[in-house]
Amino acid sequence: MSRAAVADEPVSAQEASRLIRRWDAPPNLEVDGPLVIENAPGLTRLPARLTVRRLTLKNCPDLEELPADLSVRHLEIIDCPNLTTLPAGLTCYELLAPNSAFTELPDGLTIEFRLDLRDSKSLTRLPRGLTVGTLVLRGCTALERLPEELEVTFLDLEGCTKLTRWPRKLTVNCGHLNLTRCTGLTALPPAATDLARLDLRDCVKLTKLPPGLQVRSWLDVAGSGLTGLPRSASARCGQTLSRPSPTGPVGLEGPR
């Protein structure tokens, strides 16, 4: 019997990896240090009540689920094609899962700092009430809508071509909104009135901006359908990239 199975104390990351790969890991396993499980075919699950500060799962082709009571602060998931969702109620500081197989994320998910799901081509649903500092969804081409009561500071939706409308309740806290190549959108979210940066490149159906919009540092409208900018945006914006749109040059709107 392994030391971890009989001792209620943390084990090293190396020992934890060995136990998990051999299916000898007991429940309540607490890991001291960053745990990396890489190139682990045949591994379908992790031990119940696993506690680890940083967990990286890379090229685990048969992993189907994470334990419902997983305790982790930094979670990275790469090349785990059978892992299609996360445990309900999962809480962590940062979750990185580029090119994931996620189809939806469960209710009760709490991510404090950064949620990066770029190029997750099958993702269709995020949980209602999601609050996160940075949300990266670029390349999530199946995503048709964002959840109600979403609250973010940095929102990257580049290339989300199926998005056509916004949730009724959305909060963007004076950060960066990237809508590059969101070709289905015709308007900005009503809550996006005061932004640090706004990228609208190639938003061909977007033809106007809200009158009171304020952009503090950078506004990119190249290739969009805009023909004019509200004075509130241009007055506050330090640098405005306003190359000609498909419908003509971009100018200022409103009285001088």
Question: For residue range 142-180, what is the model confidence (pLDDT) as tens digits?
Answer: 999 999 999 999 999 999 999 999 999 999 988 899 999
pLDDT higher than threshold 50 for residue 23: yes
Identify whether residues 141 and 50 lie together within a single domain: no
Q: Are residues 151 and 108 in the same domain?
A: yes
Three-state secondary structure readout of 85-124:
CCCCCCEEEEEECCCCCCCECCCCCEEEEEEECCCCCCCC
Q: Which residues pair with 95 in a beta bridge?
A: 75, 115
Domains identified in the chain, total number: 2
Residues 142 and 154 in one domain: yes
Cα 230 from Cα 195, distance rounded (Å): 14
Listed residues 78, 110, 130: the one ending a domain: 78
Cβ 167 vs Cβ 188: under 8 Å: no
Predicted confidence at residue 196, as pLDDT, reads: 92
pTM here is: 0.88
Domain match, 37 and 113 both:
no
Res. 239: pLDDT tops 70 = no
Examine the pLDDT at 255 and tell me if it is beyond 80: no
- Looking at 51, 78, 105, the residue that finishes a domain is 78
Contact call for residues 67 and 87 (beta carbons, < 8 A):
yes
Residues 92 and 188 in one domain: yes
175 shares a domain with 236: yes
Of 19, 43, 78, the domain-final residue: 78
Is the domain of 94 the same as that of 45? Answer: no
Q: Assess whether pLDDT exceeds 50 at residue 232.
A: yes
Asked if 110 and 230 sit in the same domain, the reply is yes
Mean confidence (pLDDT) of the chain = 88
Helices marked H in the chain — which ranges?
3-6, 13-21, 231-236
Is 50 exceeded by the pLDDT of residue 114?
yes
Of 87, 31, 34, 91, give the one whose Cα is nearest residue 57: 34
- Is the pLDDT reported for residue 7 higher than 90? no
User: Is pLDDT of 251 > 50?
Assistant: no
Percent of residues, the chain, with pLDDT higher than 90:
77
Residue among 182, 128, 124, 183 at smallest CA distance from 155: 182
Residues 19 and 64 in one domain: no
**97-105: long-range contacts (C-beta < 8 A, 24 or more apart)?**
105/130
How confident is the model at residue 169, as a pLDDT? 93
Q: What is the average per-residue pLDDT within 5-11?
A: 68
DSSP structure class, residue 220: E
Buried-exposed string 64-90: b where 16+ CB fall within 10 A, e elsewhere:
eebbeebebebbbbebbeebebbeeeb
Residue range 9-16: average pLDDT? Answer: 94
Closest CA to 178 of 147, 204, 153, 199: 199
> How far is residue 126's CA from residue 143's CA, in Å, rounded to a whole number?
9
Do 13 and 89 reside in the same domain of the chain? Answer: no
Residue 50: half-sphere exposure toward Cβ, Cα within 13 Å: 27
Please, are residues 121 and 143 in contact by the beta-carbon 8 Å criterion? no
Residue 168 is given by DSSP the state S
Do 25 and 110 belong together in one domain? no
Instruction: Please check whether residues 55 and 86 belong to one and the same domain.
Output: no
Distance of CA 189 to CAs 48, 69, 127, 153, 179, Å?
A: 41, 36, 19, 14, 11
Domain that holds residue 226: 60-69+79-253
Question: Once rounded to an integer, what is the mean pLDDT over residues 208-214?
Answer: 86
Q: Which residues contact 51 (CB under 8 A, 6 or more apart)?
A: 28, 29, 30, 31, 71, 72
